[in-house]
Amino acid sequence: MTNQDNKARPLAGRIALVTGASRGIGAATAQALAQDGAHVVLVARTVPDLEAVEDAIHTAGGSATIAPLDLTDGESIGRLAQAIGGRWNALDILVLNAATLGTLAAVPAIDSKEFARLLTLNIAAPQALIAAFDPMLRASKDARVVALTSGVAAANPRAYWGAYGASKAALEVLVAAYGQEVRNVSAIRTHIVEPGATRTTMRARAYPGEDPATLKTPDIVGRAIADLIVRDVPDGERLVLPK
């Protein structure tokens, strides 16, 4: 591979896993990582949407594998780690993007069953993924764990966003703590990304009257995440995109 190829595909030979990769920011991030040369494992529940993203990556000259599964099933995460570990020695990039918005409600009105489901996907699943893939991340020469957060997390709580905001605040703490735990004993670096207002299905649910044409597209966020991973930035660096 020439120096020009290295510059064009700086993630060549790297293995990435992106959750929530069937649409929106997850799909855009997977496509950007593949464009930079990574082989991307696409994780989400919806097979047709995953296949569409995989086809787009292959059409663009990239490489990807789909892994349809429900992240709320902890056993599925363990099986996924076993399958990936049987094919590759290390995982270089883990993007924790999958999340659910839930119903926007005042804190006393939060439905307990829905809240439990939200916490399972938004915080328990990322912890299970980190735990399952920790050995493969430690085996990488330069591993990155990237978690997607929100402007309504701990730094800026907002009325009626308590459930979703709390889950994102917990995710930030979880990933930052993991980064500190492995900082001196591995090549793992962790990052938090706050994408800001983006044209996604979740955004449309939260702001039904908003004109989507006024929002940035997911590919802008995906490219920014890929660029963050390519750059040699310190552990814990936070990326906040303009609103």
- Domains along the chain? 3-240 (3.40.50.720)
19 phi and psi, to 5 degrees? -90, 155
Would you call 164 a catalytic residue per the annotation?
yes
The strand pair at 63-68 and 93-96 is best described as unpaired
8 Å CB contact between 94 and 145: yes
Cut 0.85: pTM above it? yes
pLDDT of residue 222: 98
Give the pLDDT score at 74.
84
pLDDT tens-place string over residues 185-240? 999 999 999 999 999 999 999 999 999 999 999 999 999 999 999 999 999 999 99
Stretch 30-41: mean pLDDT: 98
What band does 5 get if pLDDT is binned at 50, 70 and 90?
Answer: low
pLDDT higher than 90, residue 1 = no
The predicted structure's pLDDT at residue 69:
95
What pLDDT score was predicted for residue 6?
58
Task: Check 160, 164, 178, 207 and give the catalytic one.
Answer: 164
Mean of the pLDDT values across residues 157-172?
A: 96
DSSP 192-242: EEE--SB--HHHHHH-TTS-GGGSB-HHHHHHHHHHHHHS---TT-EEE--
